[in-house]
Every structure is written in C-alpha cells, then in structure tokens.
C-alpha cells in the first residue's frame, strides 16, 4: 500500500512539475526527494537507490549546466536538425516573417493571458469619421442600387464615380498631409461594411484603392518624390489605381509569376536612362479597365549586372501610367455578373525608367516582402468587412421577410425548420462582426496580424457564404427570381468572388493558417530555425540549446496541462473578472489552447517536414486555432458592449458552435494521425473523459431565431452599420416597413378572428374580412387602415419581378453617355 502511495505521489509530482513548466533544478530536486523517500520507507533496495541516484547525477549535471549540455546533447541535435530541416525559399521566408504576432501567439501558448485580450481598447470612431459615415456614406448609398448598376449601367453611374472622387472615398487610408482622409483602420472597415450592405460594385470600387495596391505601397515604401506626386492625385481621384499580380500561370502560387523585367538601358523622353524592359500578362485585375496608373508585380533580372552581382533580383513592384506605350488594358471580365471594373492587362518588352519602381532602385527585388507585409494588415480589413456588411443586410432582410411571409397561417420564421438556418445566420453574424472589429482594432494599435488576418479572411468569407446559402433556402422562389425587388440574389451569386481572392480559401486553410501560424506563433520553432541558419557556430549553439530545451519544457507542460484540464474539466484555470455566464468558456478555451499546442508539437516532432504535405492535418490544426480566435473575439465583444443580456443568446450560440467545431477538428487530427499508437496517446490525453461539447441546442437556436424576426435593440446592434433605405420603394425599406406594419396589424387581425367566431360579423364569398369587419364596426377606420397598409406592404415584399419576353433587355438600355470614367487610351 505504501508503494502505491509513493507511486501516486511521484505521478502527481510529475504532472505538477510539468504543468507548471518547472525549471531543471526543481525536477532534479524532486526526483532526489522521491528517491530519498523510497529509501527511507524501504520501498526499494539500497543498491537500486544508489544506482538511480548515480544515474540522476550523471544526467542532472549536464542537463543543468548549459555549456556541458550543449556539448553533449544540443550540438548533436542541431547537426541532425540542420540536415532534416526542409529548405525554405526566400519568398517562403519573407511570407512567414511578414507581419506581427500578438493574440495568436497567446492562443498557441497553451495558457493564453485573457487579461491581455480584455485590456485591448475597443476601437472608436472620431467625430469626423462618424460624420462621414452618417452623411457622405449614407448619401452615396442612396445614389445606387445593385440592380441598376448590374443590369442597366453595367457599372456605377457617372455621378456616383464623381461623388466617390470628390468626397475622398478613394483616399481613406492616405494621410491628410497628402490630401487624403487619414482614417483609422476601424473607420475604413465601417465604411466598407456600410457600402457592402448596399451594392457590390460600389463597395469594391471604394475598397480596392484603400487595400493592397499603389496607395498603400507608396505610403510604406515609396520615395519622397513618388509620395509627393502620386498620393495627392490618388486621394483626389485624379488617378484611378489598380494593382496587377495574378498571372494566368501563377494564381495561388503568386511568388512564381513568370512576368519578367530585364534591367537595361533604354530611351525615355529622348534620352538614354537606366530602366527595365518588362513583359507581363495579368488577369482578374480590379479597376484595371478604368485605371490610369498600373501597379505591376514582376520578377526583375539583371543579366548584365548593371545593378548587382546576381542575375535574379527577385519580385519587384512598379507604377506604370496606363497610357504608356505598350500597355494593353481596358477589356473586362464579368465575375459572376458582378459589374465592378475588373479585367486583364498585358505588355511585351515595355521599357520603364528605373524611377518607376516603387521605392526606386533600392527596392528592386523587395516586392514580395512589401506585398506580404501590406497584405498582413490589408487582408484584415477588406474582405472581412465586405462579407460582414453583406451578411448584415442578408440577416436583417431575411429575418424581416421570414416575419412578413406567412404559410399555413403562420409566419415562416416561426417554423422550426426555418429557425435552424436563422439561428445559424444570427450566430455567425455576431461572431463575424466581433472578429472584424477586433482585427481592425489591432491594426489601429500598430499590428500587422498576418495569421489572424488570414483567419479572418477565410472564416468570414466562408461564413458569409453560408449566411447567403441559408437565406436563399428561406427565401425560396423570392430569392431566385432576379429583379429590383430581389434583396438576395446578387449577394448569393457573387459571394464566391470573395472566396477566391487575396488567397483562395482552400489554400489559406490548408497551407497558410497553420503553416504560418505554427512557425510565427510558436514560442520556440522560429528560434530553432533561426539558430539552424546562424553562421556563427557559438551563437548558433547557444541559441539552439536555449530554444530546444525551452521547447521540450513547453511540450511537456502542454501535455500535462491538456491531460489534467481534461480530467478536472478545466476548472483549475483562473480567469479575469468576466460575466459569470461566460467564465466556463474562458476555462475551456484555455484547455483547447493547451491541446492545440500539444498536438502541434507532436505533429511537427513526429512528421517533421512531411507535415507540410499533410495538408488535411495542417488544415484541421489551423481550424482549431481559428475557432479559438473567433471565440476570443466573440467573448471580447460581449464584454466591450457591456454584457448585453438581451444579446446573450447570440453569444452563447456562437461559442457553442465554434467550440464544437474546434473539438471536431481536434478529433479529426487524432483520428487521421499516421501513427496509430501516438494517436491513441493523443486521444487519451486530449479527451480523457470524452468530448465536452455538442452542437448548440434547439432551445438556444429558437431564442436566436426570435431575435432576427422582430424589431429590437438586439437586432439593431446585430446589424448596426448597414445602410437602411427609408424609401418603401426600395426593397430593404419595404421589408423594414412591412415588419413594423405586420406587427401593428397582428392584434387587429386576432381581434377580427375572435369577433368573426363570436358571430359579430360574417364574410361573404370573395369579400375582404377587414372590409367586412370595418363595415360591421368591429374595427375602427384607423385600424382598417393599419390592416390594409400591412397587407399592401406584405404583398410588395413577397412579390417577384417579371419582364417582357426578351427579359427586359429593351427596357434596360444604359444612357447614351457611358457612366464609367474613361480609361486612358490603350496602346495598340
């Protein structure tokens, strides 16, 4: 019995030391104490104790004395590590090192400091930014409809283009000293949200110049001369920019673009100057058909060594006026019937002066790093904001439609079959807006969150797509018949565009989120890799030793924490002062954080470089990190908004859904791990007592769905920032009015039904019940007007459009003058 007690204390001591990531000398002291206790209690022979003590001394001295440890252990491991480390190209290294890490590193640590997250200030708008949203943005939205831009003008009307230029929409991110608006990232995001809730062509036209492109590249890397010339012109709309990266043969693998520029002497403005002769072919370039300045990415070569000793100088970015001889531009693509300007451009042996390279001669070959660093921040704003704005419009209109539309004498939003997709739409939107706001706030604090922006781009576009799919299932025939009264069809059709751009979603999930996150967010992997590439032998030895043994302690700690927290249900985790109803979420998220760190280390340790090719495993590990971030953002939103009890159902649904999916991803890693013995250990460690999460309950879904189909402060907060037209002739305005009118009429309708049952009036065949009730003085004239108005608006909302036999082509001719701003004349 005493032996069992001793063994129990030893096991408990192991887990306690590992749980706390104890220092080496504490391990040594604890093992020595255990041996002394075993000898004192006569649990093992003296000879065995002496042998074990000797072995402890032999191991403890080198392990606790770094110079000896390096000589005996670390240097040999370093030599092996250098041989098995997969080669990394310069472009891969630049992509991994781009941007910053912050909360993502905390989530990867196994013990996130929730106080750091909650201490981040909630982003706020300045008075100037709020005024712009309330006035310029509102007026701009009122000038367009998705139907007209898509089916009549095939573009934004000319007055809209001019308004965009005059009011500075194209220069939101450009500092005021250059004539721009100098808006914060959060304000930029809020503008995109509002415009996206109105018209796809409108939001893309405004969004792209304020995202990755000439403006942002010039701000960060341009020469003073380039900034002084171009930034004021871009801010005022005197130049329309586009940026061309994608080649037909290099889409997701953008670093492999075959477009090339040869360093050479050439003639420009009548004199010989140093420059590049560039040949390129690009496609999918937004604003390209109307651009006046082309940002171009190509690989620079210097065969005559006019600049440097090496031939391949690397990816380079340049600015080329579109009326420059040899530039072919102006033709359009039609991406899923969206009419934002988008098209190909190309050129062959086009000579450009070296001064046209962004940043000048010094930045030749540094284009990939420039793009990756700008993308790390820009990707956090554009597509997450666009999809959130679209989702706000879809959720509000679909919820309203589900309240107005009745079948079997019941609003369809009250059927359980409709409640399920409505709940998903509401929960998704709550977490989408939370994630968008948090990442925009991080950018305003100076971060360039490369990994978190990839998470936001992937999950918010995917969730936006699911919101639209659910809405289409609810709308049914109303959603599939295109026309001015269709509030859903354009968003449903065009959502795949967001899925494919700024890193196709399959690529982002399979390769980028975990592939970049595991290296950047892990506290030791990048340090180990840096040490392996360190040319100074002593510096490499010291750095690798420190990283290696830190990594070992980190892995042991997360192994112990994962198992212990699984046994005790994570109740040991301390959390900051948060709402009581969310305390357990913080504890469970900490448990899943430890599990992610443990599984990631085991996967990297066992599979090594092969993990890069195990894209499904990598994707699932990335999913865990992603859902932890979405939950973090959701919980922070709940705190930042003052713990709104009326919104709690949305928060709870979003957390349960994301935690269940994170749990499923953990199970997916374990079930598909190539080594089945290690997989068994993983499962017993991560889920020692089974899996704690299930899908959100039907009762919780019912509460969420109710919030979407009736006016309330919660519904307003959920869809805050979208454009709501006040006109009943507009489909969104009609739905808003119809919901209010329907709710006002319902008690009157109920009163009429009761009165008819009581025999107070009768309805003849073909007679309107409200008219009969009014005639019988059952309802007043005012009540009769309320009922008639509700029915009229309901009829307007459920109506679908129809056209002449030619589908209205003859009725949808654009004005004689093209509404688009003229592009510069393309070269022959």
Segment 306-334 mean pLDDT: 95
pLDDT-based confidence at 40, cuts 50/70/90?
confident
Q: How confident is the model at residue 813 (pLDDT cuts 50, 70, 90)?
A: low
Closest CA to 309 of 370, 263, 259, 358: 263
Cβ-proximal residues to 767 (8 Å cutoff; 6+ apart), any chain: none
Q: Read off the pLDDT band of 815 (50, 70, 90).
A: low
Contact call for residues 331 and 290 (beta carbons, < 8 A) = no
Is the pLDDT at 55 greater than 90, yes or no? no
Q: What is the pLDDT of residues 494-552, one digit of tens each?
A: 999 999 988 889 999 998 899 888 888 899 988 888 898 889 999 999 999 999 999 99
Give just the sign of the alpha carbon dihedral 382, 385, 386, 387. positive
Nearest to 103 by CA among 91, 88, 113: 113
User: Which of 441, 443, 435 lies closest to 460, judged by CA?
Assistant: 435
Residue tagged active-site, from 106, 239, 502, 703: 502
Which residue is associated with the tokens 């509460």? 703
Q: What pLDDT, on a 0 to 100 scale, did the predictor assign at position 821?
A: 46
Distance of CA 378 to the CA centre of its chain: 11
| Catalytic residue flag (residue 502) | yes
Instruction: Give 3-state DSSP helix, strand, coil % of the chain, rounded to 5.
Output: 65, 10, 30
What are φ and ψ of residue 313, in 5° steps? -90, -15
323 pLDDT tier (thresholds 50, 70, 90): very high
Structure tokens, 218 = 């010039």
* Cα 99 to Cα 600: distance, rounded to the nearest angstrom: 22
pLDDT of residue 824: 40
Q: What is the mean pLDDT of residues 160-178?
A: 97
Q: Examine the pLDDT at 387 and tell me if it is beyond 60.
A: yes
Across residues 135-150, what is the average pLDDT? 95
Instruction: Give the end-to-end CA distance of the chain in Å, rounded to a whole number.
Output: 94
Helix (H) or strand (E) run with residue 331 in it: none
Convert the pLDDT of each residue in 667-724 to its tens digit. 999 999 999 999 999 999 999 999 999 999 999 999 999 999 999 999 999 999 999 9
Q: Chain centroid to CA 404: how far?
A: 33
Beta bridge partners of residue 274, listed in sequence order: 265
Average pLDDT over residues 47-55: 76
CB 649 within 8 A of CB 704: yes
For residue 817, the model assigns a pLDDT of: 42
What is the greatest pairwise CA distance in the chain?
109
Q: Distance between CA 110 and CA 601 in Å, rounded?
A: 11
SS3 100: strand
pLDDT band at 811 (very low <50, low <70, confident <90, very high): low
Compute, in degrees rounded to 10, the torsion defined by CA atoms 69, 72, 78, 79: 170
Tell me the pLDDT of the chain averaged across its residues.
Answer: 91
Q: Which helix (H) or strand (E) holds 721?
A: none
> pTM of whole model > 0.85?
yes
- Judged against a pLDDT cut of 80, whether residue 351 lies above it is answered with yes
Euclidean distance between CA atoms 374 and 99, whole angstroms: 8
């Amino acid at each position: 019995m005493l032996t069992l007690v001793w063994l129990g204390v030893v096991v408990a001591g192991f887990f306690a030391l590992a749980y706390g990531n104890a220092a080496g000398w504490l391990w040594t002291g604890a093992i020595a104490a255990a041996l002394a206790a075993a000898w004192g209690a006569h649990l093992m022979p003296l000879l065995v104790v002496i042998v074990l003590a000797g072995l402890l001394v032999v191991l403890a001295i080198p392990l606790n004395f770094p110079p000896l440890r390096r000589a005996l252990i670390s240097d040999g491991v370093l030599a092996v590590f250098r041989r098995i480390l997969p080669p990394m190209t310069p472009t891969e290294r630049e992509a991994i090192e781009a941007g910053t890490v912050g909360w993502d590193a905390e989530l990867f640590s196994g013990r996130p400091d929730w106080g750091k997250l909650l201490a981040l200030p909630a982003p706020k708008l300045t008075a100037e930014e709020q005024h712009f949203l309330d006035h310029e943005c509102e007026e701009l939205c009122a000038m367009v409809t998705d139907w007209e831009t898509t089916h009549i003008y095939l573009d934004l009307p000319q007055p809209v283009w001019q308004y965009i230029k005059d009011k500075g929409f194209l220069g939101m991110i450009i500092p005021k000293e250059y004539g721009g608006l100098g808006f914060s990232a959060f304000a930029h995001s809020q503008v995109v949200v509002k415009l996206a809730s109105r018209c796809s062509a409108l939001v893309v036209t405004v969004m792209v110049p304020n995202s990755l492109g000439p403006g942002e590249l010039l701000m960060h890397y341009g020469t003073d001369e380039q900034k002084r010339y171009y930034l004021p012109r871009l801010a005022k709309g005197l130049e329309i920019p586009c940026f061309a990266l994608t080649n037909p043969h290099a889409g997701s693998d953008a670093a492999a673009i075959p477009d090339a520029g040869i360093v050479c002497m050439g003639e420009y403005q009548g004199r010989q100057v140093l420059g590049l002769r560039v040949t390129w072919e690009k496609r999918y370039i937004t604003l390209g058909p109307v651009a006046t300045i082309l940002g171009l990415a190509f690989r620079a070569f210097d065969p005559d060594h006019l600049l440097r000793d090496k031939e391949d100088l690397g990816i380079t970015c340049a600015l080329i006026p579109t009326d420059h001889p040899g530039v072919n531009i102006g033709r359009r693509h039609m991406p899923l019937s969206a009419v934002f300007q988008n098209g190909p451009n190309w050129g062959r042996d086009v000579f450009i002066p070296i001064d046209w390279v962004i940043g000048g001669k010094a930045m030749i070959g540094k284009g990939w790093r420039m793009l990756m660093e700008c993308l790390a921040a820009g990707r956090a704003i554009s597509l997450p904001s666009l999809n959130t704005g679209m989702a706000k419009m879809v959720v509000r209109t679909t919820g309203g439609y589900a309240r107005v539309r009745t079948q079997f004498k019941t609003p369809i939003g009250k059927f359980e079959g409709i409640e399920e997709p409505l709940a998903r739409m509401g929960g998704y939107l709550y977490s989408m807006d939370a994630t968008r706001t948090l990442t925009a706030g991080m950018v305003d604090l100076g971060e360039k969150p490369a990994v978190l922006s990839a998470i936001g781009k992937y999950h918010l576009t995917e969730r936006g797509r699911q919101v639209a799919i659910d809405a289409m299932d609810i709308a049914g025939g109303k959603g599939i018949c295109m026309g001015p009264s269709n509030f859903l069809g354009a968003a449903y059709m065009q959502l795949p565009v967001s899925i494919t751009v700024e890193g196709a979603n399959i690529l982002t999930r399979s390769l980028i989120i975990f592939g970049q996150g595991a290296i950047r967010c892990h506290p030791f992997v990048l340090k180990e890799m840096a040490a392996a590439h360190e040319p100074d032998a002593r510096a490499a030895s010291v750095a690798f030793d420190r990283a290696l043994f830190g990594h070992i302690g980190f892995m042991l700690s997360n192994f112990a924490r994962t198992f212990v927290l699984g046994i005790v249900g994570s109740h040991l985790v301390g959390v900051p002062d948060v709402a009581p109803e969310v305390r357990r979420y913080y504890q469970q998220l900490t448990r899943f954080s430890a599990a992610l760190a443990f599984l990631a280390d085991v996967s990297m340790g066992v599979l090594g470089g092969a993990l890069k090719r195990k894209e499904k495993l990598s994707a699932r590990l990335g999913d865990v990190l992603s859902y932890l971030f979405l939950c973090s953002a959701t919980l922070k939103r709940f705190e930042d908004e003052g713990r709104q009890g009326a919104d709690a159902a949305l928060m709870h649904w979003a957390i349960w859904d994301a935690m269940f999916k994170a749990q499923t991803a953990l199970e997916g890693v374990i079930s598909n791990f190539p080594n089945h013995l290690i997989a068994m250990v993983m499962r017993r460690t991560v889920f020692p007592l089974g899996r704690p999460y299930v899908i959100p309950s039907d009762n919780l879904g019912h509460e969420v769905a109710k919030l979407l189909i009736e006016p309330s402060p919660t519904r307003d907060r959920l869809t805050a920032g979208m454009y709501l037209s006040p006109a009943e002739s507009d489909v969104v305005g009609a739905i808003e009015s119809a919901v209010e009118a329907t709710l006002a009429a319902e008690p009157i309708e109920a009163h009429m039904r009761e009165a008819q049952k009581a025999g107070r009036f009768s309805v003849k065949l073909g007679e309107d019940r409200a008219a009969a009730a009014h005639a019988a003085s059952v309802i007043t004239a005012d009540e009769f007007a309320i009922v008639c108005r509700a029915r009229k608006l309901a009829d307007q909302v459920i109506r679908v459009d129809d056209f002449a036999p030619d589908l209205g082509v003859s009725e949808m001719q654009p004005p004689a003058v093209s509404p688009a701003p003229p592009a510069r004349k393309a070269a022959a």
